[in-house]
Structure 1
Amino acid sequence: MIKDIVQTIKQGEGLTTEFKKTIDSPFKIAKTIVSFANTSGGTLIVGVSDNGTISGVASELKELQKLEKATAELIEPAIMISIETVSLDGRKILVIDVNESHDKPHYARNEKRERIIYIRVKDKSMPIPRLLLYGESDEDTTKLLASRHVKTLVTYLKETDSITAKVFSRIINISEKRAEKMLHDLAARQILLKISPKKPETFSLKWAE
C-alpha cells in the first residue's frame, strides 16, 4: 500500500491523481471529487504539494471535517469515497480514493450554491454544461468519431494537452478556417472541451480512454 502511494506521488498529478497541501475549501474539494467520479475515478492525496513534496497535514480532524462537509452537503447525487491515513517520512497524509461513478452526472455546488458538472481533463477539474455519456452520441457524432481527421485529432490529443485550429490545420492539411469549424463542432458535440476562449482558442479532449 505505502509503496503504491509513494509511486503515485513520484508519477505526479494527472488524469486520475491530484495533490493538495491542505483542503483550503470544501467547495474546491467537492469539485475534485465530482470530476473524478464523472470521469475515470482517481486518488486525491492531502498533505502533498503540487510538486510532490510531502508536507503532511497539520490537523487530520480539520481536513476530515472539510471532506465531510463536501461529501454531505455539496455533492449531488452523493458519492461514496474511501479515506485512509498514511504515515510517510514521519508525516501524516490523507489518501482519498474516488471510483468512477455509475450514477453520472454528479454536481458540485459552488459558493453561490450553483450546481455545476465537472470532469477531469488531464490534471485539471473542468466545468462543463452537460455530461455526454458513452453510448449517448447520435448517428452523426458516431460517423464523425469514425472519420480519419477526427481519429488523427484524438490520437494527437491523447499525447498532447491541447490543440489550436492552426496546429490542427497543419496536421490534417486543411485550411485553418475549416479546422476551426471542425474543432467548434466537436466541442458542441461534447467531444472536445474549449479550454481557452481567447485567441488563439485552444481545445482539449473531454476525457481520455
Structure 2
Amino acid sequence: MRYDYNPFDKSFDEINPSDLARLFSVAEGWYVEYKQEVPNASAIAKSVTAFANTYGGWLFYGIAEKSKDDAVAGAFPGIACEDADGVLQRIRQAVANHAQPSPYFRVKALMGPVEAIGLPEGRCVIMAQVPWGPEAPYIHKDGRIYRRVGDGSEPRPESDRFILDQLWSRSVKITQQYADWIGRELETSEAEENSPFVRLFLIADFWSDHSSMNGISLRRVREIISDVNGNYTIPFENVYQTSGGFICRQTAYNDPEMLGLTWKLGGNFQSEVIIPLSKFRRDSLDELGDWFEGYKHIGRFLQLCEKQRYLRPTVIDLNILLHVLLGITRIQTALAKEFGWTGPVFAKMEISGVWRTIPFVDTSYVLDEYEKHGLPLGLRDKISIRTGTDQGSFIELDGLQDDDIEKHRILMATKLFVIIALALGIPPIADPDGDGSDFSDSVADFLKAGERALEAQKKRTQRG
C-alpha cells in the first residue's frame, strides 16, 4: 500500500477546481471518500482519524458517488460558497474536539463554477488531505480506533490486536531514527579532541507526514549559503554535494583540514550545523588579557578570576555566538522559502568540549552576576540540551507565518542563544531577579559585545 497517494499528481496547494474532473475515474476506497453533504462533527472526525490511522487519503464534501456498484465521482452538486468558511472551521473544530491526539491534515474550498464537472456558480467542493499519521493510533471521542478497510466507503472500528500494536509502534520507529542521528558521536581529529563545539540539529517535517517538499539544486544551495548581502552574514566558501545531501564549510582564514563552521544539509530539509567555539588557556592572567585585547570588560573579568582563585582559567569566548546564530537563522529562513516550508522547525542542541571551562561574555551585567554568585565552571565535557526522543523534547521554532522575516529570524536566533547561555551558566537577562534591564536590552548588549569581539579578532589576524 502507498502512504503518498495523490489522485491529482500535483501538490495540495497547486490543485485548482478544474482538477476535480480527475475524480470521475477515482473510486472510493482505501484513499478516497466522497460525501454529498457535510456530516456532523463525530462523522467528520471518524473519517479523518481513519485515514490517519491507515495510509492517509483524501476527503471530499460536495461530491456524490456515481452508484454503489461504481463508486467513482458521479456528480458535483457542491456546498454553498457562502458557507465555505464556516464549513472549514467546523471541520477543524470537529477533529480537534473529537480526536486524541489530533492528526495533521489540510483542508480548503475549491470554488465553482466549473462547467466540465457541472459544479454550479456559487457552489464549491471542500477538499481535505489527510497524511498517514505517525502518532497513531488516533482515538475517536467515542473510544474507538477507526481505519479504512478495502474498498469500503465508511471507516470501521479496529479490534485486531496485531494491527493495534503496529499503530502504536509508528512513532517509535521515527523517533529512534532521530535518536540514532543525534546520538552519533562528532567525528574530530586527534588535534580537535578537546575542542569545544555546539551541534545544532534542525528538523522540518518531523513526522514526514506533509506533502513532498520542493527539491533544491547544488547551484541554489551555493547561492543561498554564500550570500553576503545584508546583516549577520556567515558565508560558506566550500560547498559540495554528497550522497546524503550537501556539505557547506567555512574555510576562509581557517585551516581547511580542521572542523570549522560546517552545515550538513539533507535533501529533506534536515540539517546538522557544527559551530566551533573559541577556547583559550594561557600561562597567566596577564597573557590571557593580551589575547582579549579590545574587549571592553576583559580587565574586570580577569580581576574576578583572580579574586575567585582561577589563576590559569580555560575560557570559552561566547561573544560572537549570537552573531553566528543570526547568520544561521538567516540562511535557514532562506532555505525554508526554497524548500516551500512554512511550518515549525524542531531543534536539538549539544555542547561538547566544555569540561572545566569558564564562559566569558563581554557585558557588565553578566560580570555583575559573576561577582555576586561566582564564576560558572563547566562540570561536564558534553551537555545535551533537552534529552529525550519524543517530539516534546525538541525545541520548537515557529514557522514562516509572519511577514516580517527579519523579526522571525532574530527571534529564532535569540531563543537558541538563550538556551545555550543557560546551559553554560550565563544569565540570559540583566538582573534575573527582575530589578534591571529587560530582555531586549540584554540582547542589545550581547550584540554589542559580539561587534567588539569581531573587531578584536580582525586586529589579531592583521597582527598575525
Same fold (TM over 0.5): yes
**Gap change, CA 1:4 and 1:117, over 3 Å in 2:** same
Call closer, same or farther: CA 1:135–1:97 in 2, change over 3 Å.
closer
Normalised TM-score (structure 1): 0.57
| Larger relative contact order (Cα-Cα within 8 Å, sequence gap ≥ 6) | 1
The count of residues paired between Structure 1 and Structure 2 equals 132
Rounded Cα–Cα distance in structure 2 between residues aligned with 1:115 and 1:70 = 15
Match of 1:66 in 2: 90
**Partners of 1:37 and 1:101 within 8 A in 2:** yes
Q: 1:134 to 1:47 in 2, by over 3 A?
A: closer
Query: 2:145 is paired with a residue of what secondary structure?
Result: strand
Query: What are the superposed Cα offsets for residues 157-190 of structure 1, whole Å, 9 maximum, x if unpaired?
Result: xxxxxxxxxxxxxxxxxxxxxxxxxxxxxxxxxx
Report the counterpart of residue 145 of structure 2 in structure 1.
117
Give the match for residue 21 of structure 2: 6
Q: Deviations over 1:84-112 (max 9, x none)?
A: 21124333111100000110100111xxx
Task: Determine the C-alpha separation between the residues in 2 that align with 1:132 and 1:105.
Answer: 9
Q: Give, as a single letter, the amino acid of the residue that structure 2 aligns with 1:76.
A: Q
1:128, distance to aligned residue in structure 2 (A): 1.2
**Of the two, which has the highest radius of gyration?**
2
SS in 1 for 2:166: coil
- Paired residues of 2:61 and 2:79 also in contact (CA < 8 A): yes
Aligned-residue sequence identity (percent) comes to 25
Q: Does 1:86 align with 2:110?
A: yes
Mapped pair 1:132 → 2:165 = yes
The 2-side partners of 1:135 and 1:37 are apart by: 13
Other structure's SS at 1:14 match: coil
SS at match of 2:133: coil
In 1, Cα distance between equivalents of 2:41 and 2:167: 30
Q: Which secondary structure state, in structure 1, belongs to the residue aligned with residue 155 of structure 2?
A: strand
TM-score, reference length from structure 2: 0.27
Q: SS state of the match for residue 34, structure 2?
A: strand
Letter in 1 for 2:84: E
**Whole-angstrom distance in 2 between the partners of 1:23 and 1:9:** 20
Aligned-pair CA distance for 1:134 = 7.1
SS at match of 1:15: coil
Q: Deviations over 1:51-102 (max 9, x none)?
A: 2210111221342233123111001101121112112433311110000011
- Structure 2 portions without partners, runs of 5+: 1-14, 67-72, 170-464
- 2:34 is aligned with what amino acid? F
Instruction: Judge which range, 12-21 or 124-133, deviates more.
Output: 124-133
**Segment drifting more, 82-91 vs 68-77:** 82-91
| Structure with the largest fraction of strand | 1
Contact 1:23 1:66 in 2 (8 A): no
Runs of 5+ unmatched residues, structure 1 = 137-209
**Which residue in the other structure is 2:53 paired with?**
38
C-alpha RMSD over aligned residues = 2.1
